[in-house]
Amino acid sequence: MGYLEEYKLWCEDPYFDEATRAELAAIKDDDKEIKERFFKELEFGTGGLRGIIGAGINRMNIYTVRKATQGLANYIKQAHGEDKGVAIAYDSRRMSTEFADVAALCLNANGIKAYVFPSLRPTPELSFALRELGCIAGIVVTASHNPPEYNGYKVYWEDGAQVTPPHDKNIMAEVAKIKDFHDALTMEKMDAQVAGLYNMIGSDMDDKYMAALKKQIIHPEIIKEVAEDIKIVYTPLHGTGSIPVQRVLKELGFVHVYPVPEQKMPDGEFPTVSYPNPEDPKAFALALDLAKKVDADIVLATDPDADRLGVYAKDSKTGEYVSFTGNMSGMLICEYIMRERKAVGTLPENGALVTTIVTTNMTFPIAEDYHMKLIEVLTGFKFIGEQIKLFEQDHSYEYVFGLEESYGCLAGTHSRDKDACVAVMMLCEVASWCKKNNLTLWDQMINLYEKYGYFKEGLQTITMKGLDGAEAIKGIMTKLRENPPKQIGDLKVLAMRDYENDIRTDLATGETSSTGLPKSNVLYWELDNNSWCCARPSGTEPKIKFYMGVKGSSLEDSNAQLKALTDALMAIVNA
């Protein structure tokens, strides 16, 4: 069926509600908009759905959510997991509550129990809750840090991590089998409640989650010692982090925590930011204004579903607030945990640090320093969560810490996804240790650079929306794959990894070997002088991302090297 026929069906079929048909009628003369909404189905990828909210098969709406859930329900029934049930959480975005209920009632209509949080909760708490409840799967309705017009739907499996092979591919296959929206089941909420299928998760789950977070603290005595002296500004960016983050900091004894007033309440319109992303310096404008007024030591921001953490801290020499990348804040937490756990005798001999292939290479010397196994996985925290499961199954290693460059990390195994709540808590402990030792977080970051090397990473993102954009992104990857560069600027390419074809090619010898990781549309270039770069289309947004990293002898040197590498790579891409 062509896009116009699909559009006409949605306009005329009474299965689609009146509001949906009215929204579509309003674009009847806009062929481009009709095509954008109907030229393809919103893809159920390896993590779930994410897209612009609106009517149409290429949009997030109750019908696409119900259809995806029917596919998930079919897979759960094949696994005989009906009685185990599915835990469901949602964030502050538009339609999140509605999508959560649509998913729950579709599951219920298939005889599968649903356990739904009564109000918004962080993504990592869903990961925690589904394991506490013994569920076979979990759903989080969120579009993470995307702009306000987006929402999404992430699927987790019984280990608490986002679905990985073979479950992700199997669920995708089941969703693809649903050809007719009418085949997606639903039922009345009251009937589901009476039947014991629709269940609310109680507040005791919040208490258990808080207790699990606090178990990660290494030196509560240091926090108590400096709690009156340290000042923390925090913004949840209108998302789910407000209550859990403020609660855990209060229970640990921090006295001076200043939430940004304009941003502390949940609001799916995100009225004070154009892009609710802690990676974006603009998102910190109000927080930094407040920090200057109260003379804060650190400034923290979590994204709407509270799995990413952004950080600023004061430079004691200049008095200015300095931004930290996810790599930098992750390394501060990582090195602190290893150092202090070693000091108190709780660092395991078979400990492992798990990172992604585009995370800072500072992980290598730190892991070596503390005799930890370093394991690299594909981009996506679900692959880090998968390693925790594998460690538990084969007892090969004990998970100590995991991080990815995109502002996500995890201390502990209470969650199997990145957790900004525990990251806030641990970074505030690091800041407390720094305060006790007359340091700032920035001073300690410089100490790490001096010890391990001035590693610096960058990211260039090109957004290409719509059908034409998807083709353009495909063309860029094809060009780089078929005509790989042998030199990027002044840096020689030593080897190229093509994860799509599972080949690592040594350019000096021509020898090939396996990448050792699952198939993924990613290209990675190993360069001389401890440098590297990588190309990866986003799996959730109409973007292609270019990552790069260098190691310099100083801040100035690493900044200069990174700029030169970035410019050279972009020149190749745009040629």
Domains of the chain, earliest start first: 1-39 (no CATH), 41-202 (3.40.120.10), 231-429 (3.40.120.10), 454-574 (3.30.310.50)
Q: What is the DSSP string of 142-171?
A: --TTS-TTEEEEEEEETTSSBP-TTHHHHH
In terms of Cα–Cα distance, which of 210, 205, 191 is closest to 249?
Answer: 210
Task: Kindly report the backbone phi and psi dihedral angles of residue 399, in degrees, each rounded to the nearest multiple of 5, phi listed first.
Answer: -65, 130
Q: Is the dihedral of CA 444, 305, 40, 67 positive or negative?
A: positive
Cα–Cα distance, 129 to 123 (Å, whole number) = 10
In terms of Cα–Cα distance, which of 552, 309, 554 is closest to 411?
Answer: 309
- Residue 264: the pLDDT is 96
Cα–Cα distance, 423 to 419 (Å, whole number) = 6
In this structure, the number of other CB atoms found within 10 A of the CB of residue 279 comes to: 18
Structure tokens, 387: 């390693």
- Residue 468: the pLDDT is 80
Cα–Cα distance, 210 to 415 (Å, whole number) = 12
Tell me the pairing of strands 137-141 and 150-157: antiparallel
Using an 8 Å Cβ cutoff, are 89 and 118 in contact? no
Cα–Cα distance, 28 to 520 (Å, whole number) = 39
User: Which are the catalytic amino acids?
Assistant: 144
What dihedral angle (degrees, nearest 10) is formed by the CA atoms of 230, 419, 379, 96?
-120
Strand-pairing partners, residue 524, are 497, 534
Amino acid at 540: T
Using an 8 Å Cβ cutoff, are 531 and 565 in contact? yes
Cα–Cα distance, 201 to 130 (Å, whole number) = 10
- Residue 248: the pLDDT is 98
The residue assigned the tokens 């996810």 is: 326
Cα–Cα distance, 464 to 543 (Å, whole number) = 6
Residue 263 CA to its chain's centroid (Å): 21
In terms of Cα–Cα distance, which of 84, 66, 336 is closest to 178?
Answer: 66
Using an 8 Å Cβ cutoff, are 357 and 378 in contact? yes
pLDDT tens sequence for the chain (575 residues): 789 999 999 999 999 999 999 999 999 999 999 999 999 999 888 778 999 999 999 999 999 999 999 999 999 999 999 999 999 999 999 999 999 999 999 999 999 999 999 999 999 999 999 999 999 999 999 999 889 999 999 999 999 999 998 999 999 999 999 999 999 999 999 999 999 999 999 999 999 999 999 999 999 999 999 999 999 999 999 999 999 999 999 999 999 999 999 999 999 999 999 889 999 999 999 999 999 999 999 999 999 999 999 999 999 889 999 999 999 999 999 999 999 999 999 999 999 999 999 999 999 999 999 999 999 999 999 999 999 999 999 999 999 999 999 999 999 999 999 999 999 999 999 999 999 999 999 999 999 999 999 999 999 999 988 778 888 899 999 999 999 999 999 999 999 999 999 999 999 999 999 999 999 999 999 999 999 999 999 876 789 999 999 999 999 999 999 999 999 999 999 98
Structure tokens, 441: 């977080």
The residue assigned the tokens 């009146």 is: 18
- Residue 540: the pLDDT is 65
Distances (CA, A) of 387 to 168, 174, 417, 515: 16, 26, 11, 17
Q: What global pTM score does this model have?
A: 0.94
